[in-house]
Structure 1
């Protein structure tokens, strides 16, 4: 990025503000845009130093707002099909994503992790492992701190692990991780990407600029990724992990051990009973994180040490409390059916399941097929409750209740649960419409549980 450019930054959320600050720090000028007219311009400007070269535009973008603008940085929340993007395209202004901006302004080695489910846990765990070996370790992306917020602090000695979403991968150009990982690909965000093929292609873009010197970590059990890893033209070296197959090379599950094999020689990384993470999907996350860390130069013993110490990430099958013999789990990050299946399978007893939320046009059939023998009661909230109820009934499951909000759902579960049961919030849907984000939904759930 040219130091003195006038740059349009679209989106005034955490990552948009971080991108604007990064541009200003490099001597640029910013036009900060948001389509939401209810926002307060003064409050937005207060997030910057006095006299900062920032002009705020709210509502509709006009051609006159783009005078002198040489580059546009777009928030991942804005679809490339939006009218805003059409105006910028018409003005022939190049568009970059925040992740691309951060990459161009950063230094050091980079590991980038994507996939439909497990990204946050795997990214946090990879960061914890890398910290055992490298003093300057940054953990960024969707996991909490935007990549743009830390890019200017990175040096040639730094190692960075970034959680990358499909929305962010839509706008990369030169983005080049030394190690990439694609954990799994199952239907999600089809309201945005349209088809499974388009969604898959975007996820696979993470390897676009990698070379034969680099590594991509892939899930051997995922049919899409198995095919992708064997594709002609894939430049990085593929490293596999599997919870179902014994591999000659890679990480796999053998009885209760996670094993690493190289040219047939096996080495035990950890016994899963020594982990603080629940469920097979988390064993896969451990394998992926270990494979990334090994490729980033962390010794095997340090990886073992870090995975044993690691505690679950908030809102991902997070144990909240036990009350009258009933265990409560917060899996607010279970925002699609595949993630919700994983949480359900990880439960140590019969489940009272709280689900429902914003409609992302997901298919709930596979998830509903898991209810028999696992779920005692299904308590539904939100926009999708009728759709989920109908799907559950098609699969022969009729123990369904409705609640007006999450607090009521928790109270209903507390009444109907017996000792030995688990109450699980794993919505299989996004939180929008009822909550700002999945974090807020998770916090409301935890407070409701603690208030019982």
Structure 2
């Protein structure tokens, strides 16, 4: 049973730790529901903060603790040597008893409404899948009265679907709507949102798992540990839709593995999006009993999201696509397979020490496609392509004007310092009637505020 009573916070001293979009939303929530004795905000670092005065601490997802998952802290609490590792030379600053005070918007919201929450996670595809599922459910719920499905249409359906989570809308913004109605939350869940969560949604979709966020989690196993919390606390009453690229896991939920691609009409590009659509179709029909013809119609109408293989336009005879959401090599390779007539790909960004072997192996085989590398990860890819030789690096004043390939054997691979120089070079080397795709296979941080800003800058440069 879901319990959305606020009595758990009545008379408590609450700290909001982190004041980004989610932190501000939490503050607004407690202003609208003044049940706590006090609500304070802190942006202090873990080695600075004192949580002793507080009863409940709403931790923002981006705050990094020594152990980045629930299991890490559990190990530390059971072993004093583990605690010493957690403290990382800081003495007893982050004390073990503080861990029990930590919660989050995600954990609180799902604990309240778990029977009406569909959670979606995965290394790639989660934003598109979440948005497509919300679109399908919202369309079918709102248009039920106008649909001529006869006895095939369910008698009882939720009235609304709410798009929340990592997609950009804090879940507590819809708390009152969920509490006062029978809507469902379609919740995109990042690894950071899941890492400390002690509750799982009723319906979980785990699309895939690839190497990512190693700068935060250290290794793939710990990253997977965070992700699998989407099903860790499910029961036999719950359902898990599982992709074939997810490592083996143990769950109490009913598992439905999705492997077949969707074959209906779609505006989205790429075979990977056909797999995303298959997850959506299975969930919409399997969980809500929606008629397949209406689900298919809604899928066919979905136009996609910004910065996900988004068509920018044709300029100078070259078609430009923004796939700035791409932060791993597998996503860039999918972009090449998805966009017709790719002539140039722009890759590179923050180097998070992920494995670029898939790209490094593929690039020499695609001699008809230009690869323009940039920033730190672009340098690393070039070094791996040349066996560690870095004589090609344009560490000189005319680097922006340089258009020489990185080696005689890799005449389709170039290095430039930044995105502006990459777009300039793409105009020169991309054949007319071919496509140029920004698909960086790297995070934007350190160079841009986020992947959205990177995509916007790319579109602006293209249109100049």
* TM-score of the aligned structures, taking structure 2 as reference length: 0.79
Q: Look up the SS of the partner of 2:282 in the other structure.
A: helix
The equivalent of 2:203 in structure 1 is 179
**Correspondence 1:136 to 2:143:** no
68-77 vs 118-127, which moves further = 68-77
Q: How do 1:217-296 residues align onto structure 2 when only pairs under 5 Å count?
A: 217-220=241-244, 222=245, 224-225=246-247, 227-228=248-249, 231=250, 234-242=251-259, 252-253=260-261, 258=262, 270-271=263-264, 274-296=265-287
380-389 vs 22-31, which moves further = 22-31
Q: Look up the SS of the partner of 1:171 in the other structure.
A: coil
181-190 vs 83-92, which moves further = 83-92
Q: Look up the SS of the partner of 1:176 in the other structure.
A: coil
Deviations 1:190-213 (A, max 9, x none): 222222222222222211222222
Q: How do 1:92-103 residues align onto structure 2 when only pairs under 5 Å count?
A: 92=98, 94-103=101-110
Q: How do 1:201-220 residues align onto structure 2 when only pairs under 5 Å count?
A: 201-220=225-244
Q: Look up the SS of the partner of 1:431 in the other structure.
A: coil
Q: Look up the SS of the partner of 2:41 in the other structure.
A: strand
The equivalent of 1:167 in structure 2 is 192
The equivalent of 2:28 in structure 1 is 21
The question of whether the paired residues in 1 share the 8 Å contact of 2:315 and 2:462 is answered with no
The equivalent of 1:72 in structure 2 is 57
Say which structure is richer in strand: 1
Note the C-alpha offset of 1:304: 0.5
Aligned residues: 393
CA 1:393 to 1:440, structure 2 compared with 1: closer, same or farther past 3 Å? Answer: same
**Correspondence 1:358 to 2:350:** yes
Q: Look up the SS of the partner of 2:386 in the other structure.
A: helix
The question of whether the paired residues in 2 share the 8 Å contact of 1:18 and 1:148 is answered with yes
Deviations 1:131-158 (A, max 9, x none): 0233321001111111122223213511
- 2:377 & 2:200 partners in 1: Cα distance? 39
Note the C-alpha offset of 1:346: 1.1
Instruction: Report which of the two structures shows the higher radius of gyration computed on alpha carbons.
Output: 2
**Correspondence 1:393 to 2:382:** no
- 1:145 & 1:184 partners in 2: Cα distance? 23
The question of whether the paired residues in 2 share the 8 Å contact of 1:326 and 1:418 is answered with yes
Deviations 1:2-26 (A, max 9, x none): 2332211111110111122223333
CA 1:308 to 1:351, structure 2 compared with 1: closer, same or farther past 3 Å? Answer: same
- 1:420 & 1:438 partners in 2: Cα distance? 27
**Correspondence 1:340 to 2:349:** no
Note the C-alpha offset of 1:91: 5.9
The question of whether the paired residues in 2 share the 8 Å contact of 1:377 and 1:400 is answered with yes
The question of whether the paired residues in 1 share the 8 Å contact of 2:315 and 2:463 is answered with no
Note the C-alpha offset of 1:300: 1.7
- 1:375 & 1:216 partners in 2: Cα distance? 42
The question of whether the paired residues in 2 share the 8 Å contact of 1:11 and 1:74 is answered with yes
- 2:367 & 2:256 partners in 1: Cα distance? 34
Answer 1 or 2: higher relative contact order, Cα 8 Å, separation at least 6.
Answer: 2
Deviations 1:328-374 (A, max 9, x none): 11010001112222112212113311111111111111122222226
Q: Look up the SS of the partner of 2:414 in the other structure.
A: strand
The equivalent of 1:406 in structure 2 is 419
Which of 12, 27, 50 matches 1:5?
12
Note the C-alpha offset of 1:94: 1.3
- 1:91 & 1:239 partners in 2: Cα distance? 39
Q: Please, what is the CA RMSD of the aligned residues?
A: 2.4
Long gaps (5+) in structure 1: 37-58, 243-251, 259-269
The equivalent of 1:110 in structure 2 is 117
Note the C-alpha offset of 1:398: 4.4
CA 1:68 to 1:105, structure 2 compared with 1: closer, same or farther past 3 Å? Answer: farther
- 1:215 & 1:369 partners in 2: Cα distance? 38
Note the C-alpha offset of 1:321: 0.5
* TM-score of the aligned structures, taking structure 1 as reference length: 0.81
The question of whether the paired residues in 2 share the 8 Å contact of 1:359 and 1:430 is answered with yes
The question of whether the paired residues in 1 share the 8 Å contact of 2:16 and 2:57 is answered with yes
CA 1:238 to 1:91, structure 2 compared with 1: closer, same or farther past 3 Å? Answer: closer
The equivalent of 1:267 in structure 2 is none
Say which structure is richer in helix: 2
Q: Look up the SS of the partner of 1:112 in the other structure.
A: strand
The question of whether the paired residues in 1 share the 8 Å contact of 2:347 and 2:440 is answered with yes
Which of 342, 360, 363 matches 1:368?
360
- 1:116 & 1:324 partners in 2: Cα distance? 35
The equivalent of 1:419 in structure 2 is 432
CA 1:62 to 1:428, structure 2 compared with 1: closer, same or farther past 3 Å? Answer: closer
Q: Look up the SS of the partner of 2:212 in the other structure.
A: coil
- 1:168 & 1:120 partners in 2: Cα distance? 14
Deviations 1:373-409 (A, max 9, x none): 2662221221222201122335964422233321221
